[in-house]
Structure 1
Amino acid sequence: MLRGLSVNGSPAMTVREVAAYLNVDEKTVYRLTTRGRLPGFKVAGAWRFKREDIDEWIERQKGAAAKTHSRS
């Protein structure tokens, strides 16, 4: 188990933690990550995520959604 892994001083998040944070299924996290849409990296074959990268991704999604709605 890779408990305690940190990136720039903050703990790296697991797929399960990201899924809970985003309120989605773990399969959705895997799918978005393997398609290059969600930022993550592998450590010993397991996906890990930086919290700040996930927060930035959320903000970009909000911006994209706002642009889509403003065109309607």
Structure 2
Amino acid sequence: MRMASEKQLKNQDQLLTVEELGAYLKISKSSVYRMIERRLIPFFKIRSGLRFDIADVEKYLLSCRTEAMNDENVYGSLKI
């Protein structure tokens, strides 16, 4: 059996379980499972468990981001 490289071990630290993802996003486990059912976030099925790459989670969060409106967006060209 080949020894895991340091890079491979480091990458494993970036995988989250369903419970860890829920805690990270501050949502329930059932909400995580709904995200999985809707294919909103990529996941790995490893044996009987699911894992989520933290980089994929960050991409998902960025895709959910809504920019704040600045004064120009709110009032058009009207200066206050």
Normalised TM-score (structure 1)? 0.71
What is the deviation of 1:27? 0.6
Normalised TM-score (structure 2)? 0.65
Aligned length: 60
Question: Which of 11, 14, 26 matches 1:9?
Answer: 11
Equivalence for 2:3: none
Question: Which of 34, 38, 42 matches 2:37?
Answer: 34
Q: Which runs of 5 or more residues in structure 2 are unaligned?
A: 1-7, 68-72, 74-80
**Structure number, greater radius of gyration:** 2
Taking the TM superposition and a 5 Å limit, the aligned residue runs for 1:1-72 are 9-11=11-13, 12-62=15-65, 65-66=66-67
What is the deviation of 1:14? 0.2
What RMSD in Å do the two structures reach over aligned CA positions? Answer: 2.1
Q: Which runs of 5 or more residues in structure 1 are unaligned?
A: 1-5
What is the deviation of 1:9? 2.0
Q: Between the two proteins, what is the percent identity of the paired residues?
A: 27
What is the deviation of 1:36? 0.4
